Structure 1
Amino acid sequence: MQEPLANAQSQFFSAIKGSIPPYASLVDEISEVLNLSMDSAYRRIRGEKLLDFDEILTLCQKFNISLDKFFSQDSKSIVFQGTVNTYQEDAFKIWMEDVLAQLNLVNSFSKRHVFFLVKDMPPFHHYYHPLLAGFKFFFWMKSILYYESLKNEKFTLDKNYFAPYQEITNKIIKVYNKVPTSEIWNEEGLTTTLRQIEVYHEMGLIPEPNVTLKLYQCVLEVIDHLEKMAELGKKCAFGQPPTEDSGDYQLYLNEIVLGDNTFMAEIGDTKITYLNHSVLYFVGTQDQKFNEAIFKNLDNLMKKSTLISGTGEKERKQFFNKLRKKVHSKIALLEDRD
C-alpha cells in the first residue's frame, strides 16, 4: 500500500475511534458496519488493505465523519459538521435527540469535561424548571423553527408545551449533570431569555400578565439553583442535593468579555469545538489545531476571570444578586404597565 494512503487510512480509523465510546471495540464496530470478518476488519484498521469507496461512504455515514479533513491536511480549511433547520414539524424533537446523543457520547468517556463561553444562559439550565422549559420550547418552535402549527398560537397555561418533551428533557438533564463543566459567565447571560419573555408579553403572545409574572419567578428559581450549584461546586437536580455521580461545576465571572456560546467538549485525548449558529444549532469540529487554539483562548479567559464556585463567596453573592436585580426590574416594569 502506498504510504500516503496508508497514513490517511490510519488517521481515518483514528477519527472513527474518537467518535465511539471508549468501552466499544473498534474492530467489532468496523466488522459489524461493513459486514466483514474480524480478520478482514483488522487488515483494514492496520492499513494492510485499502478501503474501497463503498466502505468509505458507509463508514462516513455511520460515524458522521467528513473525508475533507483527510484531504486538506496542509490547507487552512477547517471542516465542521452539524445539522440545520429542516423546517419539519418534528425538527425540535430531532434537535433534542441530537443533543442527548452528543451528551451521551461525552459522558461515555471517563476523562471528560465541557467548557461553555456563555452569551445566553445554556439551554440545559432552562430545563430545570418545567414552566420555563415549556416557554423556551414554545419560543424555539414558534419563532426559530417556524412551526406552522403554532403560527396563530399564544403561550398560555391551558396547554403544556413541556409535557411532550418531558421524558427526553429529563434524560438530557440527568446526563448533563454527570459531566464536569466549566462555564464563563457575565451579567448579560440572562438578557436573551428575559427579553424573549418581555417581547412575547408586549406582542400579546403571552396574553395573561400572571403567566408572564410566573415566568419571571421561574427565572428567579433557576438563579437560586445555579447559585446553589456554584456554592457546592457540584451539579444537582432541581431542588435536590448532589449525588455520587454529580459532575463538578465551575463557574467563572468575566466582566469584560461577552461570550458567544462556544461549547467545547474534552473527551479522552480528543477535543471537539461546537460553534453556535441559527440560534439553536451547533456545528462541530475535531480539527486539532483549531481546537488547541480555542482551548488556549478559553483557558486564558478562565485565568483572567474570577472563579465564584466553591470559593469567592462575596463575588458569588454579588453576581447572583445582580442577576436577580435584572429580573426584579422586569417584574416592576410589568406591574407598572399592567
Structure 2
Amino acid sequence: MVNQQELFFEAIKSALPGYQNLAQSVAEVLGVSTNEAYKKIRGDSILNLQQIVLLSNNFGVSFIYKPDQLPTVTFDYLSLDQEIPNMLLYLQDLLKNLKQIHQSKHKHITITTDDIPLFHFFKYHELTCFKLFFWSDSVMNTDVQFDPGIFGTEIINISKELNQLYLEIPCTEIWSKDTVHGTIEQIRYAFEAGYITKELAEQIIEQVRYCLTDMNMYAISSKKTIDPNHTFNWYNCDVLGSISYLVDFKDHMACYNRFNTFNYLRTEDQSYCKQTKQWMQALIMKSVSFSGQGEKHRNKYLYNAFAECDKLWREIANS
C-alpha cells in the first residue's frame, strides 16, 4: 500500500505548478496539519479511502492499485461523443495535460509516430483546421465543405498555445518512413472527395512543407528554441507499430497511446511505462539519427517528403 501511496503523491507533485508546495496543498485539501501531510507524503501515515478520493478529485490524479499477481493496466481517456466529436473539449484536455508536463521541473517526452506529431501542425492555421476537420468523422461523412472559419477563435488560440508549450519541452521524436505520407493522403482524399477547394489544398500542402522546414531547423541545432534546455532529438525507424508518447518526469513516468484516430489512452502504471521506455530505447538503437550531425540521412528523408508534397501539389494544380 505504501508504494502505491508514494507513487500517488509523486503524481500529485508533478501535477502541481512549480511554485506550489506539495505538503501545504495536501494539508489544505485534507484539512490536516502540514506535519501530518508530510507523514502522508513519506508513507509514515496511511491514507484512508475518503482522503484518496479528496486528493484525486482535487488534483485530477488517479490513485492506481494493482495486485501484484494481476498483469493489468488502468488507462484514462477523454470520453468524446463519436457522433459529433467536441474538438474544443479535446484540445482543452490536451492543453491541461501539456501544461502539467510543462510545469514540471524535470520532464522529457519521447514519441514514436507514423504521423507528424500534432503539436507541429498547431503553428499553422489552415493546416490545424484541416486536421481537426478530417478527424471529425461525422463531418467527413456529410456533404459539408471544409472552411477554416468553422473553428472558432478559442480553438485557434489553444492550438497556438499547445505549439508554444511543446516547443519548450525537451523531446525525442522517432518517425517512421511513412510519417509524412499519412497527411499527404488525407489532403489528396479530401480534395478528390470535394471537401476542400484547390486553393485551400495548395495552401495546406505549403504549410506541411513549412512544418518539415521547422523540423529541419530543430534537428540542425538539436533544440526547438534558442533556449538550450529545449532539446530536440529526431530519429527515423522504418517500422514502429504504434503511436505512443512517453513522458519521463525522472521520478515517475506517464504514457499516452493514440486510439480512435486522434484520442488517447493515458496511464501512469510504472511497470507499463518502464516496458514502453525500454521498447523505445531499443527502437532508438535501431534508428538513424537526424539530429546534429545526421545531415546526410536527414536531407534524404526531407527530400523524399518534399517530393511527395510537390507531387500532390502538381496533381491538384493540373486537375
Name the structure 2 match of 1:27: 23
Query: Aligned residue pairs: how many?
Result: 319
Aligned counterparts, 1:88-107, within 5 A? 91-107=86-102
Query: Is 1:76 aligned to 2:74, yes or no?
Result: no
Name the structure 1 match of 2:240: 258
Equivalent pair of 1:134/1:162 in contact (CA under 8 Å): no
The residue type equivalent to 1:63 in the other structure is: F
Equivalent pair of 2:10/2:251 in contact (CA under 8 Å): no
Aligned counterparts, 1:133-148, within 5 A? 133-140=128-135, 142-143=136-137, 146=138
Q: CA RMSD in A?
A: 2.6
- The whole-number CA distance in structure 1 between the counterparts of 2:66 and 2:210 is 50
2:205 is matched with which residue: 199, 202, 216?
Answer: 216
Equivalent pair of 2:133/2:139 in contact (CA under 8 Å): no
CA displacement at 1:171 relative to structure 2: 1.5
The residue type equivalent to 1:29 in the other structure is: S
Name the structure 2 match of 1:155: 146
2:9 is matched with which residue: 10, 13, 16?
Answer: 13
Query: Is 1:38 aligned to 2:34, yes or no?
Result: yes
CA spacing shift, 1:213–1:10, aligned 2, 3 Å: closer
Name the structure 1 match of 2:126: 131
The residue type equivalent to 2:235 in the other structure is: Y
Query: Is 1:229 aligned to 2:218, yes or no?
Result: yes
1:202 is matched with which residue: 183, 192, 203?
Answer: 192
- The whole-number CA distance in structure 1 between the counterparts of 2:117 and 2:100 is 19
**TM-superposition CA deviations, 1:190-225 (whole Å, max 9, x none):** 12211221111122111x212212211221222122
CA displacement at 1:259 relative to structure 2: 4.3
- The whole-number CA distance in structure 2 between the counterparts of 1:111 and 1:66 is 20
Identity of aligned residues (%): 23
CA displacement at 1:97 relative to structure 2: 1.6
CA displacement at 1:50 relative to structure 2: 4.4
1:117 is paired with a residue of what secondary structure?
Answer: strand
Q: Could you list the runs of 5+ residues in structure 2 that have no partner in the other structure? A: none
**TM-superposition CA deviations, 1:261-293 (whole Å, max 9, x none):** 111011132111111111111112222222111
CA spacing shift, 1:88–1:31, aligned 2, 3 Å: farther
Name the structure 2 match of 1:59: 55
The TM-score, its normalising length taken from structure 1, stands at: 0.84
Equivalent pair of 1:274/1:283 in contact (CA under 8 Å): yes
2:174 is paired with a residue of what secondary structure?
Answer: strand
Equivalent pair of 2:244/2:255 in contact (CA under 8 Å): yes
